[in-house]
Chains A and B, each alone.
Chain A
Amino acid sequence: MTPLEVIFWIASAVILISAIMMVTRRNLVHAALFLIVTLFGVAVYYVLLEASFLAVVQILVYIGAIAILVIFAVMLTRQVTNPGQLFNKHASLALVMSILVFIGLYLALSVWPEFSAVAPEADTAAAISNLGTAFFVEEDGQPVYLLATMTASVLLLIPLVGAIFVARQKE
């Protein structure tokens, strides 16, 4: 096993185990902390896939913002240890469905010819500046994402509207 493979298996184990831990926690802050561990593992994946920009953004956006937001929400709704039933009455059905989805995904992917492709040699260092041009430049022959970027910008206004909404509520 190469060092890369060792890191890959450790990261996979961390991702899956902490995801399962997250789902089964009663204490929601603990669940959020396990979510953070999972997200960190995904960041390691991005590093292994040589998408260093996304790895850093994963930490910045997911751990730095989204996870903090979730923990805030847990604390503000005072539902840290939610009493009573953890799972709803369809929990066993949901478990069966999730496993079926996993098997279905696996079967669907395994017949795909590229399923066990090996990574080609590539210059991934240029990806960051290519990202910049991909986001903002419209070029012939290149895929065009300018519209998507602008839509993202508009989409980001929605949380601001949400902020106004939350701020204006009466105590």
Chain B
Amino acid sequence: MIPLSNYLIVAAGLFSIGLYAVLARKNAIMILMGIELMLNAVNINLVAFWRYLTPENVSGQVFAAMVFVVAAAEVAVGIALIMTVYRRRDTVSADEINLMKW
């Protein structure tokens, strides 16, 4: 049988890769994709905990479903913002979006 640790390690790896995309890539859409990877890693953990620790109680799956909702809303709004900025400033590079900086 596959021990819980395998799932957790792969999820941790996926989370780190997503984190790298968020921190290192310039393109704002790419950053959103990195966030998706991180959320997926979290979801793997939630479902694995559900299966291995409390299979009689569906809390893990409920939380995973909530993460789906949040991920969808986040991507939708994030991309809408990116597109608005793109129309105004003709760039999707996160470095150049510095309207709020001072």
Checking B14, B24, B73 against A159 with a beta-carbon cut-off of 8 angstroms, the contacting residue is B73
Decide if B59 touches A22 in the complex (CB within 8 Å): no
CB pair A98 B16 closer than 8 Å: yes
Contacts between chains A and B (CB distance < 8 A), count: 238
A87/B61 in contact, CB under 8 A: no
Contact-size category for B:
35 or more
Chain A residues, Cβ within 8 Å of B24: 23, 87-88, 90-91, 94-95
Residues of A within 8 A of B71 (CB): 62, 66
Task: With both chains docked as a complex, state the minimum distance between the C-beta of B79 and any C-beta of chain A, in angstroms.
Answer: 4
Interchain nearest-CB distance for B32 vs A (Å): 7
**A side interface size, CB within 8 A:** 87
Chain B contacts for A12, CB-based, 8 A: 6, 10
Q: Which residues of chain B are within 8 angstroms of A159 by Cβ–Cβ distance?
A: 72-73, 76-77, 80
* Cross-chain contact B25 with A90 (CB below 8 angstroms): no
CB atoms of A98 and B55 under 8 A apart: no
B23 at the interface (CB under 8 A from A): yes
Take A32-B33, A88-B24 as given contacts and tell me if A134 and B92 are in contact as well, using a CB distance cutoff of 8 Å. Answer: no
Q: Decide if A88 touches B95 in the complex (CB within 8 Å).
A: yes
Query: Which residues of B from 45 to 102 have beta carbons under 8 Å from A?
Result: 47-48, 50-53, 55-59, 61-62, 64-66, 68-73, 75-77, 79-80, 82-84, 86-87, 92-95
How far, in angstroms, from A79 to B44 measured CA to CA in the complex? 31
Bound Cα distance A19, B70 (Å): 21
Cβ of B28 to closest chain A Cβ, rounded Å: 9
- Nearest-Cβ distance from residue A134 to partner chain B, whole angstroms: 5
User: Which residues of chain B come closer than 8 Å to A145, judged between CB atoms?
Assistant: 62
B3-25 residues with Cβ-Cβ distance < 8 A to A are 3-10, 12-21, 23-25
Q: Is the CB of B16 within 8 A of A101?
A: yes
Tell me the chain A residues, 90-145 only, with Cβ under 8 Å from chain B.
90-91, 93-95, 97-99, 101-102, 105-106, 109-110, 114-120, 122-124, 127, 130-131, 134-135, 143, 145
19 cross-chain CB contacts under 8 A: A19-B14, A19-B17, A22-B21, A38-B37, A42-B44, A54-B47, A54-B61, A62-B40, A73-B79, A77-B83, A79-B27, A99-B16, A102-B16, A105-B12, A114-B53, A122-B56, A130-B58, A156-B69, A158-B76
Further 18 A-B residue pairs, CB within 8 A, beyond A16-B10, A53-B61, A88-B95:
A2-B1, A22-B33, A23-B20, A38-B37, A39-B36, A51-B51, A66-B72, A73-B29, A77-B29, A77-B92, A82-B26, A88-B25, A88-B26, A105-B15, A118-B1, A118-B52, A148-B66, A163-B76
